[in-house]
Amino acid sequence: MGGESTTRTAPRGGGTSDVPVGSRAGQRLSGLAVALGLVLFLGGFVWGAIVYRPYTVPTGSMTPTIDAGDRVLAQRVDGGEVRRGDVVVFKDATWADAPMVKRVVAVGGDTVSCCQDGKLKVNGKEIDEPYLPAGTAAEISDFPTVTVPEGRLFLLGDERGTSLDSTAHLSDAAAGTVARTAVDARVDAVVWPLGGMLERPSGFEALGALSSPGPLRTVVALVIAGVVLILGGAAYGPVAKRAGAARNRARTEPAGAR
């Protein structure tokens, strides 16, 4: 056909002007991974910010569960959701003008007293409290039986020797109890220094259902998954570019130089 040659000259640069189909698919997948990672990462943070509030515990009244200066995450809850054994953040003007952190040991309708055999007694049952400092009694001094009014809570610190808790307010009109409505949040975990999730105290289980852990583990999993997808998707481009360059060098090297 007019003497024209049908031989095509390979483009300069090693014949890589056309992006392979696999590379285009990989780029699309890496973009999707980054986008999904951002959704999970930001979604986890937003969810956590909505559900949880951070607090710094100023005193050692909850030692050894929570030490003075520890940073905790507390799930925002309604006072009606509080159960025996929960560690809660509350504010009661007759106790202090600042948020306080204590453990709920009795709820409305319960009777609570101490000490028999060195243990707290709720509704006639001796309570096993493994969160107390090893070898210590439930209280340093006895207190008479208190009947907790409906809609109120009886709270103690885990460091019973120094905690200014319900036992320090037994002479008050409410016999040391606090209204459920005073509760702002339930402590789910110690995050600094890293202490992990608080265990639900099984000693109260015979008296009724315990509260369920909040969604903190799910929130953390979403954030970590988001970071992994973002880093993995972002790394695809440089890795694929280096791999392609290595293949091109291998194709263009003289046979004797291999």
Catalytic residue among 30, 102, 121, 211: 102
Domain interval for residue 77? 57-213
Task: Please check the confidence at residue 9 and state whether its pLDDT lies above 60.
Answer: no
Task: Please check the confidence at residue 187 and state whether its pLDDT lies above 90.
Answer: yes
In tens, the pLDDT along 134-171 reads: 888 899 889 999 999 999 999 999 999 889 999 999 99
- Per the domain annotation, does 175 fall within a domain? yes
| pLDDT the model gives residue 20 | 55
Q: Which of 205, 221, 241 is CA-nearest to residue 20?
A: 241
Q: Provide the sign of the torsion angle of the four alpha carbons 87, 90, 96, 98, taken in this order.
A: positive
- Per the domain annotation, does 102 fall within a domain? yes
Is residue 169 located within the same domain as residue 104? yes
241 in active site: no
- Per the domain annotation, does 104 fall within a domain? yes
| pLDDT confidence tier of residue 14, bands split at 50, 70 and 90 | very low
Is residue 132 located within the same domain as residue 173? yes
102 in active site: yes
Is residue 134 located within the same domain as residue 158? yes
152-156 vs 178-179, strand pairing mode: antiparallel
| pLDDT the model gives residue 136 | 86
Is residue 234 located within the same domain as residue 122? no
Q: How many domains does the chain have?
A: 2
User: Considering the chain, what is the average pLDDT of its residues?
Assistant: 87
Q: At what angle do helices 21-51 and 216-252 cross, to 10 degrees?
A: 160
Catalytic residue among 17, 23, 30, 61: 61
pTM of the model: 0.81
Task: Please check the confidence at residue 212 and state whether its pLDDT lies above 80.
Answer: yes
